[in-house]
C-alpha cells in the first residue's frame, strides 16, 4: 500500500518534487550547522568534526526512515477526530498497520538527502578504520534510531484514543528529538544527559550508536554494554510501545459515542 501511495503522489510531479525539496529546506538548520562546524570549530565536547557529523547524519537518516514507515502514527488524533478509526477497526488488517499505511510522506526524501549529504562529509572527516562489522552497526544504529522515535510517538499517540488536539505534543516531541539528537550529549550537564538517556531516550537515536563506531563509549555516561546494545534497545522499545498501544486500543470509543 505504501508503494501505491508513493505512485499516486508521484503522478503529480511538481507537487512531489516540491515535497522533497521542502524536506531538504526543513533540514536547512542542520546543513548550516554542518557548515559552521567545518569552518569554525575543530569539534565539539571532545568529539572531532567527523564524529559530530556522524551523529547528526545518523539522526537525520534515522528520522527519514521513521517518516517513511511510522510518521502517520503521529497523526492519530486527526484520524480519530475525522472518524477514520472506526473504519480501521472494521477491516481485517491490523489497525496499527492501517494507520501507518494511510499516506506516504514525500518530505522523507528531503530528510534522506540532507542526511546522506552530511554523512558523506562525515566519511571524509572520520579517522577510523572501517570494517564490515562497523558498516553493519551503522545500518543497525540507523534502524534502531528510527524505532526509538517510532516508539516514543506510538506511546504519545495512545492519548489520542481518548483525547483530541494532541498534534502540538507530537510536534513538540519531534522538535525535542531534532534539537538534542543531533549532537554529542556529553556536552550537556550530567542530569540533563541522564534524562535524555533513561527517561526520554534521545541518546539511543544516534549519540550512543555513533559513540560505538567512533570509539567514544567512555564519554557517554552509559555502561559500555548498554551503549553497544543501543540498536537492540530501539527494537525493544518499539515492540513494547506497540504492545501497550494495542492494549489501549481496547478502550477506544468512537467520537460519535
pLDDT band at 229 (very low <50, low <70, confident <90, very high): very high
What is the rounded CA–CA span in Å between residue 170 and residue 50? 31
pLDDT of residue 4: 47
Residue 92: count other Cβ atoms within 10 Å of its Cβ. Answer: 5
Of 188, 203, 192, the C-alpha closest to 237 is 203
Q: What is the CA radius of gyration of the chain?
A: 19
Least confident of 42-46, 55-59, 131-135, 245-249: 42-46
- pTM score: 0.86
Domains in the chain: how many in total? 1
pLDDT value at 6 more than 50: no
Residue 37 belongs to a domain: yes
- As given in the structure block, the three cell numbers for residue 50 are 567527523
Residue 254 belongs to a domain: no
Residue 199 belongs to a domain: yes
pLDDT of residue 8: 45
pLDDT value at 87 more than 80: yes
> Tell me: the pLDDT tens digits for 94-138?
999 999 988 877 777 778 888 888 899 899 989 888 999 999 999
Pairing of strands 47-48, 43-44: antiparallel
What is the rounded CA–CA span in Å between residue 178 and residue 173? 9
Q: Which residues pair with 48 in a beta bridge?
A: 43
DSSP string, 37-70: HHHH-SEETTEEHHHHHHHHHHHHHHHHHHHHHH
DSSP 220: S
Of 214, 185, 179, the C-alpha closest to 198 is 185
Residue 60: count other Cβ atoms within 10 Å of its Cβ. Answer: 28
Mean pLDDT of 198-227: 95
Residue 205 belongs to a domain: yes
Residue 162 belongs to a domain: yes
**Are the C-beta atoms of residues 207 and 185 closer than 8 Å to each other?**
yes
Residue 21 belongs to a domain: yes
According to the per-residue pLDDT averaged within each range, which of 50-54, 76-80, 115-119, 224-228 is highest? 224-228
Residue 256 belongs to a domain: no
Residue 257 belongs to a domain: no
Mean pLDDT of 220-232: 95
> Tell me: the pLDDT tens digits for 9-44?
455 455 545 555 555 555 556 656 666 666 676 777
With the C-alpha atoms ordered 10, 64, 84, 92, is the resulting torsion angle positive or negative? positive
- As given in the structure block, the three cell numbers for residue 175 are 522538535
- 76 vs 256: which has the higher pLDDT: 76
Domain range for 27 is 2-249
Helical segments of the chain, H only: 2-10, 13-26, 28-40, 49-70, 76-81, 84-90, 95-100, 107-125, 132-157, 167-180, 190-194, 207-214, 224-228, 230-249
Amino acid at each position: 500500500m505504501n508503494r501505491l501511495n508513493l505512485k499516486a503522489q508521484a503522478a503529480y510531479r511538481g507537487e512531489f518534487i516540491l515535497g522533497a525539496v521542502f524536506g531538504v529546506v526543513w533540514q536547512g538548520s542542520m546543513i548550516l550547522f554542518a557548515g559552521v562546524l567545518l569552518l569554525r570549530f575543530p569539534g565539539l565536547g571532545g568529539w572531532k568534526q567527523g564524529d559530530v557529523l556522524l551523529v547528526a547524519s545518523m539522526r537525520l537518516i534515522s528520522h527519514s526512515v521513521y517518516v517513511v514507515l511510522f510518521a502517520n502514527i503521529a497523526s492519530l488524533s486527526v484520524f480519530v477526530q475525522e472518524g477514520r478509526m472506526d473504519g480501521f477497526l472494521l477491516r481485517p488488517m491490523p489497525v496499527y498497520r492501517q494507520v501507518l499505511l494511510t499516506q506516504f510522506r514525500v518530505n522523507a526524501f528531503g530528510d534522506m538527502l540532507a542526511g546522506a549529504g552530511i554523512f558523506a562529509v562525515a566519511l571524509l572527516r572520520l579517522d577510523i578504520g572501517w570494517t564490515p562489522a562497523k558498516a553493519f552497526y551503522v545500518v543497525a544504529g540507523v534502524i534502531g534510531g528510527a524505532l526509538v522515535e517510532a516508539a516514543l510517538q506510538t506511546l504519545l499517540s495512545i492519548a489520542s484514543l481518548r483525547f483530541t488536539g494532541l498534534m502540538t505534543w507530537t510536534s513538540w516531541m519531534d522538535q525535542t528529538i531534532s534539537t538534542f539528537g543531533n549532537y554529542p550529549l556529553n556536552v550537556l550537564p550530567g542530569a540533563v544527559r541522564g534524562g535524555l538517556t533513561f527517561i526520554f531516550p534521545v541518546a539511543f537515536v544516534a549519540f550512543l550508536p555513533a559513540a560505538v563506531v567512533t570509539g567514544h563509549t567512555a564519554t557517554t555516561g552509559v555502561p559500555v554494554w548498554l551503549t553497544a546494545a543501543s540498536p537492540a534497545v530501539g527494537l525493544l522499545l518499539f515492540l513494547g510501545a506497540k504492545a501497550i498501544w494495542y492494549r489501549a486500543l481496547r478502550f477506544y470509543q468512537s467520537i460519535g459515542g
